[in-house]
Amino acid sequence: MDINLGTASNIETSPAQSITVTNLTVEKWIDYPSESKLYAMITELRREVLVFEGAEYDATGDNTGQWTDAEATAKIISIYG
């Protein structure tokens, strides 16, 4: 899933490196409903990124904890956009 950030963003990939991107690619979503956590494996960052956890996770999907792609995408844009 490709996520367009709207503008170029400088993102730190490790303490000594950063990249400038306008799109991020989610390879897969990693969902831990029993822990109320959602991660995204992002190709350009080469790591998992915490998207939702705890009460924020539980508030997705009209407070059912059933997050949608749109909610998760919006959260990633808010983090990196």
pLDDT digits (tens, 9 = 90+) for 2-47: 999 988 999 988 778 899 999 999 999 999 999 999 999 999 998 9
**What is the structure's pLDDT at 49?**
95
Query: Whose CA is closest to 29, among 67, 81, 64, 62?
Result: 67
Domain extent at residue 27: 2-80
**What is the structure's pLDDT at 63?**
84
Does pLDDT of 68 surpass 80?
Answer: yes
- The tokens for 62 are 């009209």
CA-CA distance, 38 to 10, in Å (whole number)?
A: 23
What CA–CA distances, in Å, run from 14 to 31, 67, 78?
A: 24, 28, 20
Q: Give the count of domains, the chain.
A: 1
Contact by Cβ (8 Å): 69, 1: yes
CA-CA distance, 35 to 7, in Å (whole number)?
A: 33
Running DSSP on this structure, what letter comes out for residue 25?
E
pTM: 0.86
Average the pLDDT over 48-53 and give the result.
96
